[in-house]
Amino acid sequence: MSGDSRKKIGVVSMVRNDQFFIPKWIDYYGKELGHENLFLFIDGHDQALPEDHASINVVRLPRQRLTRSRGDKNRTDLISNFSRALFLRYDLVIAHDIDEVLVVDPDRGLLLSDYLQRQVRYASLSALGLDVGQNLDLEQPIDPSRPFLEQRSFAHVSARYTKAVVANRPLRWGAGFHRVRFRNFHIDPNLFLFHFGMVDYDISKRKMEDQLLLSAGWRGHLDRRYELFDLITKKNPVDGDAFFKQARRRESILRPLFALNKPGMLPEKPVIRIPERFRSIV
Backbone angles phi, psi at 238, to 5 degrees: -105, 160
Q: What is the pLDDT of residue 1?
A: 47
Per-residue confidence (pLDDT) for residue 127, from 0 to 100 = 98
- Give yes or no for a contact between 40 and 50, defined as CB atoms under 8 angstroms apart: yes
Least confident of 118-132, 152-166, 177-191, 214-228: 214-228
- Please, what sign has the CA dihedral across residues 142, 194, 229, 272? negative
Is the model more confident about 48 or about 158?
A: 158
pLDDT at 33 over 60: yes
Helix axes 201-208, 219-234, angle to 10 degrees: 160
State the pLDDT at residue 2: 47
Which among 69, 72, 48, 77 is positioned nearest to 60, based on CA atoms? 48
In tens, the pLDDT along 197-211 reads 999 999 888 766 555
Q: How far is 197 from 225, CA to CA, in rounded Å?
A: 9
Question: Does 17 score more than 80 pLDDT?
Answer: yes
Structure confidence at residue 65 (pLDDT): 83
Per the DSSP assignment, residues forming a β-bridge with 260 are none
Is 251 a residue whose pLDDT tops 60? yes
Fold of the CATH domain 9-278: Spore Coat Polysaccharide Biosynthesis Protein SpsA; Chain A (3.90.550)
The pLDDT > 90 percentage for the chain reads 75
| Domain range list for the chain | 9-278
**Which whole number is the average pLDDT over 61-87?**
89
d(CA 215, CA 213): 5
- Which pLDDT does position 205 carry in this prediction? 81
Of 67-76, 177-186, 214-223, the one with minimum mean pLDDT is: 214-223
Whether the per-residue pLDDT at 215 is higher than 70: the answer is: no
Residue 26 vs residue 1, higher pLDDT: 26
The DSSP result for 155-223, as a single string, is EEE-GGG----EESS---BPGGGS-BTTS---EEEEEEEEEEEES-HHHHHHHHT-HHHHHTT-HHHHH
Q: What is the pLDDT of residues 78-109, one digit of tens each?
A: 999 999 999 999 999 999 999 999 999 999 99
E strand spans, 62-153: 92-95, 100-104, 124-133
30/1: higher pLDDT: 30
